Amino acid sequence: MKISLKSKLVVSFLAVIIICGLVATVVGMRLIGTGIINQAQDKVKNDLNSAREIYHEELDNLKDVVRFTSARFFLKDAIRNNDLERLKKELNKIRKEEFLDILTLTDKNGRVIVRSRNPSISGDNQANDGCVSRVLLSGEVIAATEIVPREELIKEGVDLAEQAYIKLIPTAKAKPRPETENTSGMMIKVGAPIFEYDGSLIGILYGGNLFNRNYEIVDRIKQTVYQGVKYKGKDIGTATIFQGDLRISTNVKRKDGSRAIGTHVSEEVYEQVLVKGLPWIHRAFVVNNWYITAYEPIRDIQNEIIGILYVGILEEKFMDMRKRAIAIFLGITLGGMAVALIVSSFLANQISRPIKHLVFASQQLAKGNLEYDIKLKLKDEIGELGETFNLMASSLRERDERLKEYTRQQIMKSERLATLGQLAAGVAHEINNPLGAVLMYTHLSLEEMQAEDPCRKNIEKAVAEATRCKDIVRGLLDFARQTEPKVELSDVNDILERTLALVENQALFQNVNITRVFSPSLPKAMMDGSQIQQVFTNIILNGAEAIDGEGELTITTRMAPDSESIEIEFIDTGCGIPQENLQKIFDPFFTTKEVGRGTGLGLAVSYGIIARHKGAIDVTSEPGKGTTFIVRLPLGMQGE
């Protein structure tokens, strides 16, 4: 059975549409699903960083309170005079004002003098306590998270022991455990030494806050990170502090709406975080819902894992987003396939009908009828084919010659393109050859000159600049190919001096006052001196152009706060950069200069050089007041 061309075209179009549609649907659904989950995991990872900062902030606040209290004069005087009543009164007042659970004073051997919360118990020795023992050894303020046994909590206050007591609740997907209750507590604790006026140790002050059933930190994390947002009546984000695998402070809710105190972490998280000591950033079952979660271990002063810090986002929201996105994508794909099917049918008809005329004309030509004329009123390729068919018999030889001429032209064009390619490849070599000659003759001149010859410095500068020209050519090629810098130990101050020596005598710097604030103790760093000089030159010239007249340029070198990198700061009093342009100044070809005064590549090249040095460039600016560039370079590049 003969199948028409139109049917073949429709079936072919349909097959292509279905195959492409199915592939696009499968790939799209997978990419959408993966993208949403990855986005959620990235968010919860950042949320965990915020939670950790809040946790450490609480520890730092406690550290400040205890440290400042330990330095107060009344403590020294009261300890010296054995004024226990005053100690009890003042310490209890401070404990209440600073909202501390405990604030206890010991002598220089760790024996308790006063417990502000429970003054009836004293005289016991706390020298074996992890925090106190470290203070005794180091004489410094020590902050840590500790597990406090029930008997120690009772000494500090029976109510604290009752607050720490938690009855364990069986939890789905949790690791089975035989215990039915928890009696110890987890506490952030700070110990500080108390010194006599002559510098001798006379006591130790330690304070702490119990996490068990204390919801201040987890609720602050929830409010700060998730701002109390709800989804379908459920909190979108939650936070928890675990003692071991036990929830002791949380805003995760059980089905009855109460906080899930006494429940446990899932077994897979238990193995990853508590056993292996690794963070967990993945979906996990939390009490009664699935969450996109992030867990990390909490360690005590001996670096032992004693608990977990957790944040999580309700997975249901992201699953609903995923379903909606997939449904929309699927609808668009199916709609597009339907439209494509209709259009393909129309196109097949438009193609097959004139082709039938061409077939008939070919049959006439085969029979020898060269006078047959095809009448097609189409302005597309098929119409042109019809016209070409009409001329074929009478102009076959002419068209053959035109084809040969066209082929020759294409060959010549290809040869010219190949020549241009070879020319472009040899540009660097051709530039380096005369530079090499300049270097050779200048070196010969230097060898013939006396050391005291006044022209010697000029020749030496010519040698240095010619060498730098060669480095710039190589640097441009390296930038295009992302070549790694050739690093060696270099002195940043020396590079800056060489850079300023080259530019400060230019007319542009005539009224610019350059102030050097170079650190004399700055260590050498691993870098490509030529590339870094190129960066400094570009920033200094930009600053001078921004001043455009009389002004100041201050260049400062110093160690960075992290002590692992150096900072070079350039401050000009120029016109400044508008805020809307600050984010674009490192984009290739972006420039605010007049035509002919800049290509917009300088800062982009500089940014690439610093990035390949594992460094960074920061910029701040205020229009009308000036601009500050800070270049940070590591002392030792990674991989060196």
Domain annotation covers residue 381? no
On whether both 516 and 424 belong to a single domain, the answer is no
On whether both 499 and 477 belong to a single domain, the answer is no
- Cα 222 to chain centroid distance, Å, stands at 23
On whether both 134 and 232 belong to a single domain, the answer is yes
On whether both 503 and 619 belong to a single domain, the answer is yes
| Strand 551-559 versus strand 512-517 pairing type | parallel
Which residue is it, tokens 């007041």? 625
On whether both 517 and 586 belong to a single domain, the answer is yes
> What is the pLDDT, as a whole number, of residue 394?
62
On whether both 443 and 540 belong to a single domain, the answer is no
In this prediction the pTM is 0.51
On whether both 300 and 424 belong to a single domain, the answer is no
On whether both 124 and 250 belong to a single domain, the answer is yes
Tell me the three-class secondary structure of 573-593, residue by residue.
Answer: CCCCCCHHHHCCCCCCCCCCC
> What is the pLDDT, as a whole number, of residue 509?
86
> What is the pLDDT, as a whole number, of residue 475?
47
Domain annotation covers residue 9? no
Element (H, E) at 296: strand 289-299
Written as six digits, the tokens of 545 are 């152009």
Instruction: Answer with the one of 455, 481, 507 that is the final residue of a domain.
Output: 481
> What is the pLDDT, as a whole number, of residue 145?
95
Contacting residues for 472 by C-beta, under 8 A, at least 6 apart: 530, 534
SS3 category, 176:
coil
4-11 CB contacts, 8 Å cutoff, 24+ apart? 4/352, 5/348, 5/351, 5/352, 5/355, 5/356, 6/348, 6/349, 6/351, 6/352, 9/344, 9/347, 9/348, 9/351, 9/352, 10/344, 10/345, 10/348
Domain annotation covers residue 383? no
Instruction: Answer with the one of 466, 481, 496 that is the final residue of a domain.
Output: 481
Domain annotation covers residue 278? yes
Element (H, E) at 320: helix 315-366
On whether both 416 and 500 belong to a single domain, the answer is no
On whether both 154 and 248 belong to a single domain, the answer is yes
Domain annotation covers residue 580? yes
On whether both 489 and 474 belong to a single domain, the answer is no
> What is the pLDDT, as a whole number, of residue 416?
43
- Taking a C-beta distance cutoff of 8 angstroms, is the pair 264, 287 a contact? no
Q: What angle in degrees, to the nearest 10, is found between the helix axes of 84-97 and 73-81?
A: 150
Average pLDDT of adjacent 10-residue blocks, the chain of 640 residues: 64 75 72 73 90 93 93 88 90 93 94 93 92 92 94 93 93 87 95 91 94 93 86 86 95 88 92 94 85 93 94 84 78 79 74 70 66 64 66 58 64 46 49 74 80 81 76 52 73 92 84 91 90 90 86 93 92 89 74 56 80 90 91 74
Written as six digits, the tokens of 74 are 């009344």
> What is the pLDDT, as a whole number, of residue 354?
72
| Strand 237-243 versus strand 305-314 pairing type | antiparallel
Q: Compute CA distances 199 → 107, 203, 497, 569, whole Å.
A: 15, 12, 48, 41
On whether both 433 and 489 belong to a single domain, the answer is no
Burial class, 255, CB count within 10 angstroms (exposed 0-12 / middle 13-18 / buried 19+): exposed
Q: How many domains does the chain divide into?
A: 3
Rg (CA), the chain: 39
How far apart CA 338 and CA 615 sit, in angstroms, is 53
Written as six digits, the tokens of 275 are 């056993």
Instruction: Answer with the one of 293, 319, 345 that is the final residue of a domain.
Output: 319
> What is the pLDDT, as a whole number, of residue 61?
94
The CATH number linked to 105 is: 3.30.450.20
| Number of other residues whose CB lies within 10 A of the CB of residue 295 | 26
| Strand 551-559 versus strand 565-572 pairing type | antiparallel
Tell me the three-class secondary structure of 37-74, residue by residue.
Answer: HHHHHHHHHHHHHHHHHHHHHHHHHHHHHHHHHHCCHH
Domain that holds residue 458: 404-481
Domain annotation covers residue 46? yes
The CATH number linked to 444 is: 1.10.287
Contacting residues for 550 by C-beta, under 8 A, at least 6 apart: 511, 512
> What is the pLDDT, as a whole number, of residue 414?
39
Tell me the three-class secondary structure of 324-358, residue by residue.
Answer: HHHHHHHHHHHHHHHHHHHHHHHHHHHHHHHHHHH
How far apart CA 202 and CA 13 sit, in angstroms, is 91
Residue 158 DSSP code? H
How far apart CA 365 and CA 594 sit, in angstroms, is 67
Domain annotation covers residue 327? no
How far apart CA 363 and CA 367 sit, in angstroms, is 6
The CATH number linked to 501 is: 3.30.565.10
Please, what is the Cα angle at 329 between 324 and 330, to 5 degrees?
100
> What is the pLDDT, as a whole number, of residue 601?
62
Domain annotation covers residue 53? yes
> What is the pLDDT, as a whole number, of residue 590?
66
